[in-house]
Amino acid sequence: MILVTAATAPVGRSIVEQLLADGQPVRALTRDADAAGLPAGVEIAVGDLADTDSLKAAMRGVSAVFLLAVVPDFAPAFLAAARDAGVRRIVFQSSGAIDDDAAEQPDQVAAFHADLEREIAASGLEWTFLRLELASANAIQWALDVPGQVKAGDVVRGPYGEAAGSPIHPADFAAVAVEALTSAEHAGAVYSMTGSESLTHVQQIKLIGEAIGRPLRYEEITPDEAREAMGPYAPSDVLLADWARHVGTPAPISGTVEKITGRPARTFARWAADHAADFAM
């Protein structure tokens, strides 16, 4: 049995779907079973990382766990529950912001994930770390999430229009995670996770427009305006600093997806086409 945390997030959902397609037994950890909308065949475990009792129940009979974590101070109880249940392997969605050579991590996102990596590595369990580069996360997603932007018109407002990213399709990230969850070959590996191409925010918005059949335009706003639009819970300072660094500089391309899966990573145009219905007016 493989346990997938954050199973309703894009990557977690794709991991569940791909494991089921491979005939693997899957259990999904979610707070709300009724709202999860997960495919038939997945076993549902109700709970979250902050609830020790639900973790113990979710890990019974589990051999490997996919972990995506945003809550603090959960690791000791989580890892104890994993060891007690006989879990062998943790595949952790970590952050490419980590600097392995730094005495102190550059920001709170890097520090949070670096601390978790250390705790997992010291747990005695097999582990694989999949480090999502900040520039490879969907850098324009926050702008698209501002209520009604694309649905209300043809302008998307955001900072640093010429900042480059290399967005990775959730299904590609999930495919690498599935390989790591189901094979000991990747134990102890740290993989940089990116898409296959470097694209500016302006170029990403143009490709979304082509996917939905409307000419979208990126209108640049100031970092302060962007920080306010992101809201209080987004790591806005970290994101803005990373985007500023990538203005006029190509985003990193790791090649991990093709190396691990044997298939080229999907393009951003493919992501836009797959999500065109999300932007329909």
State which amino acid sits at residue 232: P
240 is written with which tokens?
A: 């803005």
Place of tokens 């997806």: 257
Q: Please give the pLDDT value at position 152.
A: 60
Q: Please give the pLDDT value at position 41.
A: 92
Distance CA 146, CA 22 (A): 37
Check pLDDT > 80 for residue 149.
no
Distance CA 8, CA 191 (A): 23
Mean pLDDT of the chain: 89
Give the pLDDT band (50/70/90) at residue 174: very high
Beta-carbon-side half-sphere exposure of residue 93 (alpha carbons within 13 Å): 25
Helix (H, G, I), strand (E, B) or coil at 220: strand
Across the range 257-268, mean pLDDT stands at 96
Taking only the tens place, the pLDDT of each residue in 176-222 is: 999 999 999 999 999 999 999 999 999 998 998 898 888 888 999 99
Considering the entire predicted model, what is its pTM? 0.92
Taking only the tens place, the pLDDT of each residue in 81-95 is: 999 999 999 999 999
138 phi and psi angles, rounded to 5 deg? -75, 90
**Cross-strand bridge partners of residue 218:** 156
Sign of CA dihedral 280, 170, 167, 148: positive
Across the range 98-120, mean pLDDT stands at 91
Q: Please give the pLDDT value at position 173.
A: 96
